[in-house]
Structure 1
Amino acid sequence: MLLRYYGKVQHLRRFFTVLLSSLVLSSALAQGVLPVPRFAKREGFTRVVLDLPPNTPYLVSYLPDGIQIRLTGVQAEALSGTINPQDVQSWSYLADPEGVTVRFKTPFQVTEQKGLKLLPLPPSEESASFRLVLDFSAAMLRIDPFLPPPLAFFPTNSQIVLDPGHGGSDPGAVGGVIEKEVTLKIALLVRDYLSQAGALVTLTRDRDVDLSPIKDRDLRARAAMGRPPQQYFVSIHVNSDSGGNGAGIETWYYTPQSQTFAQALQNRMIEMTGHTSRGVKRAPFVVIKETFVPSALVEVGFASHLLDSENLRNDVHLQRIAYGIAQAIRDQYPAVPINPILPVPPIP
């Protein structure tokens, strides 16, 4: 009986809290005063809602460390607060006689192509206010259609090894995608881009197999393929983390002669996808430590992240990653001279 009574009290408390909050919000908006932003952490992103009077003009600007929104015709106190370290670190209001500048600071760069999805919602039966809904995430990408231009032709006898990570009995990272499937798709795309430009491409696997059921032997067998006459070696992987917050692309190298190659791969993949760069790092992974040519291991995204795994299920995004890898490989070779077509001399 007491438990039932307690439950009713809690229910009534929640009801009146929501009702009071709604009344306070409506009163503030009626006076043209901007209430504090509402926010909630969702799986893979953080949602922030700005409640505004109807027809409030707004202008979004992108900053190196977040965004700012200029609101005209409203007022606010000079307020600020924190949200979370993953997606939106802080917010602030700066008012002047003509309106309010709202600033959101993020741990990653936001552009028109990445980091933010903005949805303006007009007044409705559920809410009398005009709402700006902002979803922030390092893995939020706008993936445009892609028509890859042909690569410049390779010099004669250009030889490259592509290593689609895992395979067979070893699925690799499993989450929104299965690593071994994504890495093979990307490797086959890279192979096609390179082959069309005249390169000789070797794959450590071209189907769902491993080179050995014993993991150490499998890795060493892959690395052993990275030796002359081969000239470059790229191992392709998908990342994962236990918290599910990691997103973006990173590239690893081990030997000093591989650092420049790793940086080129990272730069080209970020350029092609617009994704978040997690940088170039050094580690003694077997497949890049035991090769005898410049080698790098690319982590093309996170299977553990809700939105990043969604990116990795998008064929256009995979094409962009693959073309970035292919471009970086082509960058390592000199230009092929084009022989001019000489006029045919007249017959004497």
Structure 2
Amino acid sequence: MLSRPLRTTFTLLAAAALTLTSACGGSDRVEASSAGDELAGAKLVVGSKDFTENIVLGKIAVQLLKAHGAEVEDKTNLGGTVPNRKALEAGEIDLYWEYSGTGWIEHLKKTEPIQDSAEQFKATAEADLAQNKIHWIGPTPLNNTYALAIRSEKAEELGVKTVSDVAELAKTKPEEVTICIETEFSTRDDGLPGLSKAYGMKIPKDHVSLLDTGVVYTETDKGQTCNFGEVFTTDGRIAALGLTVLEDDKKFFPIYNAAVTVREDTYAKYPALEKVLQPVIAKLDDATMQKLCAQVDVDGMEPGKVSADWLDKEGFLGSGGEG
């Protein structure tokens, strides 16, 4: 998670990227011209990954761009990282929200993450633009990094507080180290293979269960299928289920600040995208994202309503308040 000084730095960084005019965003439930016409005539296709946070972020982009005059096709919940990136590169979508650590490790094939948030984002954005003509608009203050979590009572019973503790437990009580993860996490360099290598941790294949994102949380909470689960640090279900997040004491996981990735030709055609998106990006910190995700995953609200309500509350619909 980002420290308070780093969160402040990113908020200032995002704010500094704005033009002097404050831009307001919008929602599906308001007229397209209510927040401004900076994107009038633009036709844009918005994708997203298939987990709650990214879907909410995708809906925010859809509603915001519509409110600024764009004609938007909603292709959120398109799939995982690979389908979205391929769709972006192929021109099947114009933009989607990606994460700095994912860009660095997965798309740019770098093996060593940069531990400073601002430097990681800058390096990722510059390299992706130069090599792949993908422009990054951001970053958000939120850092949606991976983590291992365990139900709190079991953490106390086993005496685990860090991932190093889990690695030690794998040697002394291997039967206790069972883990629930997503399929994508099972193959990524910044997932279980890299984590196991970094911590010298050997987990038998029959101790690893591949599950859908939501099921990982519920099964980790039940403690029957697994004691440990792969989680996203901005997920509202962590607090709702009373899970304990273990410290990544060797700092293996990269920084994952969210940003909008857009093809350079689209960015050049619609430069107003920067001004429209940056005021919203500056507001998206860890606490905000945890609340929005919890409204979907805990309270059962639709991602589109959650995003629209938040944009309205923050004054991005052009109906009052300041962007």
Length-normalised TM-score, structure 2 = 0.24
Q: Give the number of the structure whose alpha-carbon radius of gyration is greater.
A: 1
Q: Larger relative contact order (C-alpha < 8 A, sep ≥ 6)?
A: 2
